[in-house]
Amino acid sequence: MQIENIVFDFGGVLVDWNPRYLFTGEFADPEEMEYFLATVCSPEWNLRQDAGRSFAEGIAEREQYYPEYTEMIRKYFSDWQIMLRGEISENVKLLKILQSTTKLKLFGLTNWSAETMPIARQRFTFFQCFTGIVVSGEEKMVKPDREIYQLLLTRYSLVAERCLFIDDGELNVQTAQAMGFHTIHYHGEVRLADEFRRMGIL
């Protein structure tokens, strides 16, 4: 196994992001909050911002259909930083270890809005560990579409078979596998340090 590069997803792998961190304090009824996050400002709606749509456009569209939630819809962007609880520390520590003890290059491939990514970059210093980062909102394409993976490979002259891709989204991992990447599907039962040792990286 010849791995020269590790490609990290950010949200759910290196950053603990969840809209419930914001809206738990805004809704008195947990069931109404779940309805709002499943139907009004849903993951599918948020993905369109990750794909390059402005929050102004997305908010206006939702307000038209759900005027009773206007205040909450606007908070999704104005108070977005509250959704960032912090680093997933055990994984972020690995970045420094990989950087100091291996010759591997680190890259980021993330579904993230171009409008909110600067907030995360300013808050977290670990972004300095990366040789290159591809942000979906800046490129107007999203995982799991193959195009954004190919953009990463082309832009940084990478070969998929020499890259390890880590993501918490199963569909994202499946696309990477189909393109020849080595992969780790990260979730609560996975310890990256153990996976790296198993693969001979650490």
pLDDT tens for residues 10-23? 999 999 999 999 99
Residue-wise pLDDT for 138-177, tens only, equals 999 999 999 999 999 999 999 999 999 999 999 999 999 9
Cα-to-chain-centroid distance, residue 86: 13
Backbone torsions φ then ψ of 35, nearest 5 degrees? -60, -45
Could you tell me which residues come within 8 angstroms of residue 155 by beta carbon, excluding any fewer than 6 positions away?
132, 134
The answer to pTM > 0.85 is yes
* Sheet hosting strand 5-8, strand order edge to edge: 132-135, 105-110, 5-8, 163-167, 182-185
Cα-atom radius of gyration of the chain, to the nearest Å?
18
